[in-house]
Amino acid sequence: LHEELDMIQQYLNIEQIGYANQISWNINCPEKYEQTPIPKFTLQPIIENSFIHGFDNEHRYTDIQVTATRFGTDVCIEIENNGACIPEERLGQITQFSKAESADGYNGIGLANVHERIRLRFGPQYGLTIRNKEEEGVITTVIIPFEEAKTKSALPDAGCD
């Protein structure tokens, strides 16, 4: 998880240049969760969607919050933005994690891929949830099992950090 969080920090630094400092973010992950294995490139597509779908003429300033918390035996990583909400019909399509193209030309393959890789690695009870915030913005939650720190050699080679 530490490597994934570092990668999105770097990604956000790059986006900050392209969006002329109209982005703020905060990444909050207690150190005890940083060694939790997570498939590579799990968080970046979610962050990228905040820019592709949430940043528009009405939402010129983007704030992204990434928070990792423990919930029972799992780690929940919430990625929250203050951009545009997802239309309800489209949200229903996205949360089915199908790869069908929508009317706006987006196929949802990024989130479907992330969801499926998490489920393949950890089991069907894990993956993504996506919901609109009440006023504006979207919260995507990544649910993975919490695992105590292990050496890299003890982890199966499944594309996990």
Q: Vertex 68, ends 159 and 6: CA angle to 5°?
A: 55
Q: pLDDT digits over 98-153, tens only?
A: 555 555 555 567 888 999 999 999 999 999 999 999 888 999 999 999 987 665 54
Amino acid at 67: T
Q: What integer is the mean pLDDT of 27-42?
A: 95
Q: pLDDT digits over 58-80, tens only?
A: 666 789 999 999 999 999 999 99
Taking every pair of Cα atoms in the chain, the longest distance, rounded to a whole number of angstroms, is 48
> pTM score, two decimals?
0.84
Residues 6+ apart with CB under 8 A from 110: 45, 48, 49
The DSSP output letter for 39 is B
- Torsion over CA: 92, 96, 101, 107 (sign): positive
pLDDT over 60 (residue 17): yes
